[in-house]
Amino acid sequence: MSNLIAKRSIAALLLAGLPGFSAQAAQDAPRKDLRAFYSLNCVVCHGADGSARGVDGSRLKGQDFTDSREMKDFTDAELAKAIRKGKIFGRMPSYKDRLSEAEITEMVEQVVRKAKKGKVISTETSAN
């Protein structure tokens, strides 16, 4: 068992004894700054604001998260699946080994769904 897995398992066991806290909640709780993760991993295709446009206005390779007409065609489950499994032909890598299920859900709800054209997704962006 890796050191990280051992630490998480011990933490989950310790926290499981607290009232109202489950071991599953400890495993599923988001642990990353997802806006920073976006900035490092997603900007190249989806743009700094999620519009899939470069700073010069050029079209990038990713989905435009700021287009409400386009985004209404996708459920949260479909967006989460794309993050988890990636897109075919390597256009988007799988992030299932880098993000937990809770982090993927939060990425969809708090980053992708809240993207606004012209508003940079960054660590300074509030969670609201």
CATH of domain 31-128: 1.10.760.10
Inter-residue contact 71 to 79 (CB < 8 Å): no
Residue 97 neighbours by CB distance under 10 Å: 7
Per-residue pLDDT of the chain (128 residues; tens, 9 = 90+): 444 444 455 544 444 554 554 445 444 555 679 999 999 999 999 999 999 999 999 999 999 999 999 999 999 999 999 999 998 775 899 999 999 999 999 999 999 999 999 999 976 544 44
Task: Give the number of residues written for the chain.
Answer: 128
pLDDT of residue 90: 59
CA separation, residue 42 to residues 11, 63, 107 (Å): 31, 11, 11
- Stated as kind and residue range, the H or E segment containing 43 is helix 43-46
